[in-house]
Structure 1
Amino acid sequence: MQDRQAAGSAAFARLGSEVRSALSERGFSTPTEPQKRAIPPLAEGKNGLVIAPTGTGKTETAMLPVFDSVAEANPRFGISVLYITPLRALNRDMRQRLEWWGETLDIEIDVRHGDTTDYQRQKQANDPPDVLVTTPETLQAMLTGSKLRKALEDVHHVVVDEVHELASAKRGAQLTIGLERLQELSGEFQRIGLSATVGDPEEVGKFLTGDRGCEIIEVDVGSKVDFRVHEPEITNEDERLAGELMTNPDIASHVRAIRDIVETHDSTLIFVNTRQTAEALGSRFKELGANIGVHHGSLSKEARIDVEDRFKDGDLDALLCTSSMELGIDVGRIDHVVQYQSPREVARLLQRVGRAGHRMDEVSNGTIVTSNPDDALEAMAIARQATDGDVEPAHIHHASLDTVANQIVGLVMDFGEIDARRAYEIVTRAYPFRDLDEETFKGVVRELQGNRLVWLNEEADRLEKSGKTWQYFYANLSMIPDEETYTVHDIASGSQIGTLDERFVVNFAEPGEVFIQRGEMWRIAEIDDDESRVNVSPIEDPGGEVPSWVGEEIPVPFEVAQEVGEMRAVAGPQFEREAPREGVAREFTNRYPTDQHTAESALSQLDRQAETDAPVPTADRIVVEFAAGKIVVNACFGHKVNETFGRVLSSLVGQRTGSSVGMDIDPYRIELDVPAKIDGHEVVEVLHETDPEHVGPLIELSLKRSDTLKFTLAQVAAKFGALNRWEGSGPVSMGRLLGALEDTPMYDEAVREVFHDDLAVDATADLLRDIRAGDIEIVTTGGRTPVGSGGRSSGRELLAPENADASVIQTVRERIQNDRVILFCLHCQEWQRKTEVGKVNDQPKCVQCGSTRVAALNPWADEVVKAVRADDKDEEQEKMTRRAYNAANLVQSHGKRAVIALAARGVGPQNAARIIAKLREDEDDFYRDILARERQYARTQAFWD
């Protein structure tokens, strides 16, 4: 105890009298653990990376020794400190946190970002603050202004907040060169990074400092968090709620369980993994009248600030959010965090649950609400790894060439002209670019010259400004992809609702289509491409589609998927010996933070697998199962490896058979749609025979046919100035772009980026070597297994042709025929019957009154029956009744065909009528149209099934 007190006293003793006096005034008598350990080396001027849980005083840990240094410097001229955050909203929060210290120590603190007024910018240039809080992009602009460059000559300290967020992004790679450009002005300065979660501190320390040496101060994050993994049990209330929410009892139980958690806490953050999930779940809470706001990046800035303020003021009980709330935006005190469905990554769980508590000695509490066996096992593995501090490493973008292009132009803007050799040396001082070779650098310069962004004076080997240098630079301050967004406007009020991205509008949006935004339903009235505007009107139809945002799928890491495989390896043999599920589950509740019901539900898939005598896929066993037209490779390797494996398999199996092979993956399965004559043995042969060295070339070949590479190439080409986007050159054909740029640095960078973000070529090659060495077993089994059938689709692009083949159509037909419906007579309103679709007569009739006016309803739609029979109907019952009569009219006119269409997933009377009305030559086309509608709907399958 005395030793700890002495360490604390020693930490604050390293600070000057002014700062110590301010600490006493602020009531800080004892430093926190990060402060005890970090202040001494930081006060000596050493570079440092501080990793500690939220609420342990990281900001003060960095800024107290920095304030001390600034307070002692007299006189002060320019900007002494840059405090860099990844979000503008964090800038506002940080200024408020630091203002008291600034006023007390007579240190001027200001904020600068894209929204800063011209007046304020001019004021900062003429009279620079001592501490400037800014973003990586604004630093880029500051480095080119003549007065600000003078002010930046005085920088002695740079603090990078949420450094983990930048380390794995191109924005961060750009920042590392930006810091080297800053050093050309100011000389060496102290670099301090702050984060709650870093998986590889040494690597991130090098990223931050350019490998100049970095003190790592890491405080155990696992000891400050407490997680529970919970899958709700279905109650009678959930059965009733399912009808009210137009969903099934499973999903109703999730909504009810989250609502119950919110009601038992003062302020709750509810995290979901995608914006479409936020919208879908938000609409469910809205139906219930729950006092819960929705917050994500596609809502307008005004809408986001509004819900942030209402939540902070206590006007909202909870905030339903995506990663938009991960990075510490101040919304007041939070006493619990709900994560809906697996968080997919350890770092994400720690960041999110770390938002709760927010006091020095308080443990942050979180509940992960899971929805299926994969989800639950995965969440248990992640919670265990998080408790032990096993965080994923940052995936730094090494040698990203569009970043090099961007920063070469930045250097020319800085100096007007610069020796090419000097530019190369500045760029390669930055850690992500240390291995960039001269020839590649020259190739980028040549490309920039060809696009008239810089001029290369070859005789003098100097880079100079060109005609488009200035325009390009200010149009490309950010490395965030420059994708067109459409604003969404309510016709009635004229107000902006939010935004939709270009890919959604082009591929899915058309007048008459329905989607959800801000938790409400909207119908598209008009799309104005010239104004990038979508006009909508509000509706109350629950059969809508949620907007699809690009790139939101959070990949499950290899290590997490492997632990799920290890869990299967523990449980599988016990079930094969016919051990009772409750006993096996009890063992898991002792190892993982979960309850008996959740563990039993998570293991149910494996228990059923044992009953079929099918082998269980594990961390080191691949199980290949096959039925007519479908092969499932059960492989516990995570998203990126399975995506890579899947592309290799679909490509090589397609070559062998001369057929298109459809592919879909999740972290535990690779599903291939193949011609019926193909079985799993071809896949096994490919796995055994593929040369590991051929994985990279095979993948690159397969990418040329994919939208992923074309879309990425367009983004990279824009950063090279090849598209001249600031001149409004209009859309460019993706196919022509690929052909034109194939032998350029832009193509190389697009391939590198897709490999980095979406694939795991080296890891896949290593696994193929393990297969050849016999370290990974491959077994086959005929027919579909419970584990193989139990996946959740990742929503990745399909490599299959647009038209589903006969085996897929047959599967859809069989599934719908086995689905159940309620038949309810609207003439006498007495007769109702629950039956399988396949058993329905060609023309359904009421067995009591003989009427053909029979509605086909969802099997849980008892509330609809009650609504039709009600004498005094409320507004909701009127709506249900109208839908029931619309369904009955279809059945009366089209018989069993209408029943089939109405039984499909997500197809209400309106869409069923469209499907039925279409003229077709082939019965299969009827099911193809149903499947197309279901696939559209499946983006929110978890909420709309």
Structure 2
Amino acid sequence: MSDQQAAGSAAFARLGSEVRSALSERGFSTPTEPQKRAIPPLADGNHGLVIAPTGTGKTETAMLPVLDSIAQAEPRFGISALYITPLRALNRDMRERLEWWGQTLDIDIDVRHGDTTDYQRQKQANNPPDVLVTTPETLQAMLTGSKLRIALEDVHHVVVDEVHELASAKRGAQLTIGLERLRELSGDFQRIGLSATVGDPREVGKFLTGNRGCEIIEVDVGSKVDFRVHEPEIREEDEKLAGELMTNPDIASHVRAIRDIVDEHDSTLVFVNTRQTAEALGSRFKELGANIEVHHGSLSKEARIDVEDRFKAGKIDALLCTSSMELGIDVGRIDHVVQYQSPREVARLLQRVGRAGHRMDEVSEGTIITSHSDDALESMAIARRAVEGEVEPAHIHHASLDTVANQIVGLVMDFGEIDARRAYEIVTQAYPFRNLSEGEFKDVVRELKGNRLVWLDEEQDRIEKSGKTWQYFYANLSMIPDEETFEVYDMASGTQVGTLDERFVLNFAEPGEVFIQRGEMWRIAEIDEEESRVNVSPIEDPGGEVPSWVGEEIPVPYEVAQEVGELRAVAGPQFERGAPREGVAKEFTNRYPTDLYTAESALEGIDRQAEAETPIPTRDRLVVEYAAGKIVVNACFGHKVNETLGRVLSSLVGQRTGSSVGMEIDPYRIELDVPANVDGREVTAVFEETNPEHVGPLIELSLKRSDTLKFTLAQVAAKFGSLNRWEGQGQFSMGRLLGALEDTPMYDEAVREVFHDDLEVEQAQRILRKIRAGDIEVVTTGGRTPVGSGGRSSGRELLAPENADASVIETVRERIRNDEMLLFCLHCQDWRRKTTVKKIDDQPKCIHCGSTRIAALNPWADEVLKAVRAEEKDDEQEKMTRRAYKSANLVQSHGKRAIIALAARGVGPQNAARIIAKLREDEDDFYRDILSKERQYARTQAFWD
């Protein structure tokens, strides 16, 4: 017998005779690698974290020792084991997979979640199953039921499936306290976690067990995966296909390449990064008549189950899916995985491609279809890192205060009343809350008392139920935020197209943006926040790239972006020495799993930049390029670091120039919209002069003006019971909310969450220190570069400079004083004068006829003069003439004050009239309002242009 066979026999030998007989009956003669290594320690009752790909028998790995323990134990009244999954769909899947074992071993297995009928719930309370499959949220509800609490006293085992998914979410943080509440009932129990590959398994083990020790059983997947990074070469057939699909040849080649892979295999999963992309590609495959269906979280439960069942039965060749299919939903055997565009993260690629194959020792195969240089280089870096096992860590939410608030109410529901110190001790036994201070805990309790969710007797140190406790708790079983839904209407027909999530609307949707719904492209015309309505118009010619849903975008980690910078650093000097692109590309194909065409295509921008003798941005070189009104900082730091540095830059450059600064980031660029007279030196100065220790406070200051913080604060306030969601959350009320909650635990939590989810302050500080030390070079270059122009926007947020800063107001005033305006007399239509604002009289008059009916126009508005003078006007000229007369009326009534307002960027006569009409005590507020209108204009500038 080989050592491997001996280890396998030893694993199954640890189980009792009933389970061994069931294994023989089921045909399991040899354990899988995870079973071989995990069953012995789990059979000994140790806590364990099993890390292995989906489909390698993880469920049986965890459950065989648990079922064996139940089979050999004395019969109990209550629930012996809980199997917790993050998705209801997994509940259904687990029930089906465990049912056979239950019947064979005479162990009762049942499922409980939000849709379980009242009859079934009552039955489970009166006659509890041995094993209950449930979700984290349903566990919350179960902990408060009087009969179920008795059933839960018998829990000896808890298995948490897809624990990596929960570790990085507030749902998971809530679950860790939930497990401590369960421990108060049942005493210690065995904890088993099932996880995809993570970069910090010991940290996830502590998350699972409350740092009580954990066996880590990790199966290396790097040697069992095979990736290919491929950018399709455009063929003649793609030109024809582009016409059929009403798209460009690039996209047509991607569709064709995916179709070819699907045709070559029996069952394929095609992963995309957003629902929008799934919808867009799905509509194009539908036009081709391909046997490919779409699967994502926004589909109804019935639609998803139907697609899953038909795919499993072999009636569908491929599923186009998002992260909905990353988790272990059983859809049968998959023999290939396509990832459309970069998977963004190593863990995501391993999890997705890991779904293919899974016979004993079979290699999982996957193809990444890329679409541009960054995409290809990023995919190559991720594929290499995946094979080497260089996986990102789980980003655990430590000390999230809204979770603490939620669970304090849960503890009061559990006990009716509880000693505050005991509540604090239970909460801080959970690993993510181990460092929660007593002061923070007390602040949260006092906030809950203020919102009347609990009573607090500070003399007796007791927390008790209030009249609102029950209502709040059952309305907030989940830490997944409740979001409003916006109805989408076709303006032309007046019919409803569908719905959009609130986060999508607030963070992405702007007039002019394009998105996909029902397989069709729509352009946003208008957003009515009060009515929760988005008016759209269809795009008849949906040419160009598949639009991206920015709200869902997966952030590229710092380490991946740095490797892309390293790839540029390898290629750049070779091109600078005159090496041919094919030769450099061949070197890349030796080191990375890609073909020559893809490598050459990925290196094209770097080659062209070297040829132009322009510095190439790398992992330790920032290249600041500038053209009129645009500065691009080429920085290979990933989404979160670039978001952090971008906010610092936009804030400080805004203060220096007294102007609103538009910011747009991707993993390799920070793009700033600035006044035309600002160049790269302003940015370089900020990098070199900013104290790294000031990054956090600067960011928090900039966040106060961001929709992101307001939106997050509203969600946090709801979890504290401070906000009734139905009271409306337009811009005005959201701003007031921010002011009202600034000195509360809710504000602290909202800032912490934004810092955790969207930013990397510490890494940004390290980068500024390296710049100061000379370890990272900052160079500037005029004009746009091939690499700098090669990115795709990842969302825009505009940040006005802090309006409390008097120097900023002075800068704005000075800038407008020096702006040029064209004055034109509408009475005689002969006199015109181009001059700076500061030289204009308080009440300008025509020097020819003496009229005060003077239009104040942009200095390049010659077309307006032509329109006013034209005897027969077309529609556009009529429009120009009306605007000129509105401008003149304002100047006639308000003199130079009107001219100052009209000189601001994007402020036409209508907005200028609003600014002038507003009553103010402080003259500085006049300029603040001008800034506000400029910010609004910058936000929608791309559309109006």
**Alignment correspondent of 1:840:** none
**Alignment correspondent of 1:68:** 68
| Contact preservation (8 Å) 2:153, 2:186 | yes
The whole-number CA distance in structure 2 between the counterparts of 1:96 and 1:535 is: 44
Determine if the alignment matches structure 1 residue 161 to structure 2 residue 165: no
| Contact preservation (8 Å) 2:705, 2:800 | no
Matches within 5 A, 1:577-588: 577-588=577-588
**Alignment correspondent of 1:685:** 685
| Contact preservation (8 Å) 1:663, 1:800 | no
| Contact preservation (8 Å) 2:556, 2:639 | yes
The whole-number CA distance in structure 1 between the counterparts of 2:615 and 2:82 is: 58
Which deviations, in whole Å up to 9, do the C-alpha atoms of 1:552-603 show, x marking residues without a partner? 1110000000100111111100000000100100000000000000000001
Residue 916 of structure 1, CA deviation: 11
The residue matched to 1:216 in structure 2 has which SS?
strand
User: Given the superposition, is the C-alpha separation of residues 284 and 171 from structure 1 closer, same or farther in structure 2, using an over 3 Å criterion?
Assistant: same
Q: Bigger CA drift: 311-320 or 224-233? A: 311-320
- The residue identity in structure 2 corresponding to 1:45 is G
Which deviations, in whole Å up to 9, do the C-alpha atoms of 1:711-756 show, x marking residues without a partner? 000000000000134xx43446100000000000000000000000
User: Given the superposition, is the C-alpha separation of residues 513 and 370 from structure 1 closer, same or farther in structure 2, using an over 3 Å criterion?
Assistant: closer
The residue matched to 1:338 in structure 2 has which SS?
strand
Amino-acid identity (%): 85
**Alignment correspondent of 2:80:** 80
| Contact preservation (8 Å) 2:507, 2:707 | no
TM-score by length of 1: 0.82
Residue 770 of structure 1, CA deviation: 1.2
Unaligned 5+ runs, structure 2: 802-811, 813-862, 864-873, 885-902, 909-933
**Alignment correspondent of 1:724:** 724
User: Given the superposition, is the C-alpha separation of residues 446 and 353 from structure 1 closer, same or farther in structure 2, using an over 3 Å criterion?
Assistant: same
- The residue identity in structure 2 corresponding to 1:131 is V
Matches within 5 A, 1:427-438: 427-438=427-438
| Contact preservation (8 Å) 2:12, 2:31 | yes
Matches within 5 A, 1:294-333: 294-333=294-333
Residue 245 of structure 1, CA deviation: 1.8
Residue 533 of structure 1, CA deviation: 8.6
**Alignment correspondent of 1:818:** none
User: Given the superposition, is the C-alpha separation of residues 163 and 489 from structure 1 closer, same or farther in structure 2, using an over 3 Å criterion?
Assistant: farther
Residue 933 of structure 1, CA deviation: 8.7
The whole-number CA distance in structure 2 between the counterparts of 1:331 and 1:153 is: 35
| Contact preservation (8 Å) 1:500, 1:547 | no
User: Given the superposition, is the C-alpha separation of residues 588 and 514 from structure 1 closer, same or farther in structure 2, using an over 3 Å criterion?
Assistant: closer
**Alignment correspondent of 1:142:** 142
The whole-number CA distance in structure 1 between the counterparts of 2:202 and 2:687 is: 36
The whole-number CA distance in structure 1 between the counterparts of 2:49 and 2:589 is: 36
The residue matched to 2:128 in structure 1 has which SS?
coil
**Alignment correspondent of 2:667:** 667
- Mark the structure with the bigger radius of gyration: 2
Residue 526 of structure 1, CA deviation: 13
Q: Please, what is the CA RMSD of the aligned residues?
A: 3.3
The residue matched to 1:797 in structure 2 has which SS?
strand
User: Given the superposition, is the C-alpha separation of residues 690 and 133 from structure 1 closer, same or farther in structure 2, using an over 3 Å criterion?
Assistant: same
Which deviations, in whole Å up to 9, do the C-alpha atoms of 1:245-300 show, x marking residues without a partner? 22211111111111111121112111111111112222222222222211222222
The whole-number CA distance in structure 2 between the counterparts of 1:770 and 1:517 is: 45
- The residue identity in structure 1 corresponding to 2:679 is D
The whole-number CA distance in structure 2 between the counterparts of 1:930 and 1:237 is: 43
Determine if the alignment matches structure 1 residue 272 to structure 2 residue 272: yes
**Alignment correspondent of 1:857:** none
The whole-number CA distance in structure 2 between the counterparts of 1:71 and 1:915 is: 83
| Contact preservation (8 Å) 1:516, 1:544 | no
**Alignment correspondent of 1:607:** 607
**Alignment correspondent of 1:336:** 336
**Alignment correspondent of 1:862:** none
**Alignment correspondent of 2:225:** 225
User: Given the superposition, is the C-alpha separation of residues 916 and 759 from structure 1 closer, same or farther in structure 2, using an over 3 Å criterion?
Assistant: farther
| Contact preservation (8 Å) 2:197, 2:350 | yes
The whole-number CA distance in structure 1 between the counterparts of 2:703 and 2:287 is: 43
The residue matched to 1:625 in structure 2 has which SS?
strand
The whole-number CA distance in structure 2 between the counterparts of 1:265 and 1:452 is: 60
- The residue identity in structure 2 corresponding to 1:266 is D
The whole-number CA distance in structure 1 between the counterparts of 2:164 and 2:648 is: 32
The residue matched to 1:180 in structure 2 has which SS?
helix
**Alignment correspondent of 1:637:** 637
Q: Bigger CA drift: 312-321 or 743-752? A: 312-321
Residue 506 of structure 1, CA deviation: 7.4
- The residue identity in structure 2 corresponding to 1:592 is Y
**Alignment correspondent of 2:24:** 24
| Contact preservation (8 Å) 1:545, 1:936 | no
Q: Bigger CA drift: 782-791 or 634-643? A: 782-791
Residue 773 of structure 1, CA deviation: 1.5
Residue 38 of structure 1, CA deviation: 0.8
**Alignment correspondent of 2:55:** 55
Which deviations, in whole Å up to 9, do the C-alpha atoms of 1:389-434 show, x marking residues without a partner? 1110000000000000000000000000000000000000000000
The whole-number CA distance in structure 1 between the counterparts of 2:146 and 2:462 is: 21
Residue 797 of structure 1, CA deviation: 2.6
The whole-number CA distance in structure 2 between the counterparts of 1:478 and 1:488 is: 27
Residue 132 of structure 1, CA deviation: 0.5
**Alignment correspondent of 1:909:** none
**Alignment correspondent of 2:110:** 110
| Contact preservation (8 Å) 1:300, 1:496 | no
User: Given the superposition, is the C-alpha separation of residues 550 and 616 from structure 1 closer, same or farther in structure 2, using an over 3 Å criterion?
Assistant: closer
The residue matched to 1:172 in structure 2 has which SS?
helix
**Alignment correspondent of 2:192:** 192
User: Given the superposition, is the C-alpha separation of residues 684 and 530 from structure 1 closer, same or farther in structure 2, using an over 3 Å criterion?
Assistant: closer
User: Given the superposition, is the C-alpha separation of residues 585 and 335 from structure 1 closer, same or farther in structure 2, using an over 3 Å criterion?
Assistant: same
| Contact preservation (8 Å) 1:562, 1:636 | yes
Unaligned 5+ runs, structure 1: 806-896, 898-912, 939-945
**Alignment correspondent of 2:464:** 464
**Alignment correspondent of 2:203:** 203
Which deviations, in whole Å up to 9, do the C-alpha atoms of 1:663-693 show, x marking residues without a partner? 1111111111111211111211111111111
The whole-number CA distance in structure 2 between the counterparts of 1:118 and 1:186 is: 25
Residue 619 of structure 1, CA deviation: 0.8
Residue 528 of structure 1, CA deviation: 11
The whole-number CA distance in structure 2 between the counterparts of 1:634 and 1:800 is: 23
Residue 926 of structure 1, CA deviation: 14
The whole-number CA distance in structure 1 between the counterparts of 2:452 and 2:375 is: 51
User: Given the superposition, is the C-alpha separation of residues 163 and 255 from structure 1 closer, same or farther in structure 2, using an over 3 Å criterion?
Assistant: same
| Contact preservation (8 Å) 2:48, 2:205 | yes
The whole-number CA distance in structure 1 between the counterparts of 2:68 and 2:497 is: 46
The whole-number CA distance in structure 2 between the counterparts of 1:529 and 1:651 is: 27
Which deviations, in whole Å up to 9, do the C-alpha atoms of 1:168-188 show, x marking residues without a partner? 000000000000000000000
Residue 774 of structure 1, CA deviation: 1.5
Determine if the alignment matches structure 1 residue 699 to structure 2 residue 699: yes
The whole-number CA distance in structure 2 between the counterparts of 1:467 and 1:343 is: 48
| Contact preservation (8 Å) 1:207, 1:431 | yes
**Alignment correspondent of 2:821:** none
| Contact preservation (8 Å) 2:277, 2:548 | no
**Alignment correspondent of 1:557:** 557
Which deviations, in whole Å up to 9, do the C-alpha atoms of 1:105-133 show, x marking residues without a partner? 11111111111111111111111100011
**Alignment correspondent of 1:833:** none
The whole-number CA distance in structure 2 between the counterparts of 1:917 and 1:408 is: 65
User: Given the superposition, is the C-alpha separation of residues 442 and 37 from structure 1 closer, same or farther in structure 2, using an over 3 Å criterion?
Assistant: same
Which deviations, in whole Å up to 9, do the C-alpha atoms of 1:696-721 show, x marking residues without a partner? 00000000010000000000000000
- The residue identity in structure 2 corresponding to 1:471 is Q
The residue matched to 1:786 in structure 2 has which SS?
coil
The residue matched to 2:670 in structure 1 has which SS?
strand
| Contact preservation (8 Å) 2:550, 2:794 | no
| Contact preservation (8 Å) 1:585, 1:599 | yes
**Alignment correspondent of 2:763:** 763
| Contact preservation (8 Å) 2:420, 2:462 | yes
Matches within 5 A, 1:757-796: 757-796=757-796
The residue matched to 1:347 in structure 2 has which SS?
helix
**Alignment correspondent of 2:418:** 418
Determine if the alignment matches structure 1 residue 797 to structure 2 residue 797: yes
